[in-house]
Structure 1
């Protein structure tokens, strides 16, 4: 498994709405993420800056390239665009992060 990490930006004042929407994640989106090969996916919030930090585990990171083509993914982005920084196609503005340290637990 490979770990992928990135940041996104939440609009101020939408912290609870972001959490509410993710607490009710659509089953078809959850299925898509699982069938794409994502095995773990966490999102953390820096409440001072509104920065979202996401990390996921996937066997084949190239499989993520297919997500933007999926209708359920496009609907989710459209649903989320009003509360976070988004691109013209409504996908979230992301910044990839480079791993610089990892300490596996044994």
Structure 2
């Protein structure tokens, strides 16, 4: 199991819409994430910065599997209007881990 994290910036006038979208994530998107190998996936908010965290056996493979799904492309298109920069279908750039307390 590996951990992965990313940060996205929400447009200043779209924060509430971003939050609303994530209160109602499509069932087919949830299913695709699980099938791709995402586990323990959460998104946290600090101002306009959305910090995402997930676990997977292989985060790169999980992102690649999501890139192959039609629902992911539709979701990224929907989120594009809410974010400063559209997330590529193959996923956001992952952050390097610099500290872990086990």
TM-score > 0.5, shorter chain as reference? yes
Aligned to 1:91: 88
Task: Report which of the two structures shows the higher radius of gyration computed on alpha carbons.
Answer: 1
Give the TM-score, by structure 2 length: 0.86
Greater shift in the superposed pair: 1-10 or 78-87: 78-87
Q: Give the match's secondary structure for 2:53.
A: strand
Contact residue 67 and residue 73 of structure 2 kept, 8 A: yes
The alignment of Structure 1 onto Structure 2 pairs a total of residues equal to: 100
Instruction: Give the whole-Å Cα distance in 2 for the aligned partners of 1:70 and 1:36.
Output: 9
Long gaps (5+) in structure 2: none
Instruction: Give the whole-Å Cα distance in 2 for the aligned partners of 1:94 and 1:76.
Output: 13
Q: Does 1:54 align with 2:49?
A: no
Moved over 2 A (4+): 90-96
Instruction: Give the whole-Å Cα distance in 1 for the aligned partners of 2:55 and 2:42.
Output: 9
Task: Give the structure with the higher percent helix.
Answer: 2
Give the TM-score, by structure 1 length: 0.83
Q: CA deviation at 1:55?
A: 0.8
Long gaps (5+) in structure 1: none
Aligned to 1:45: 45
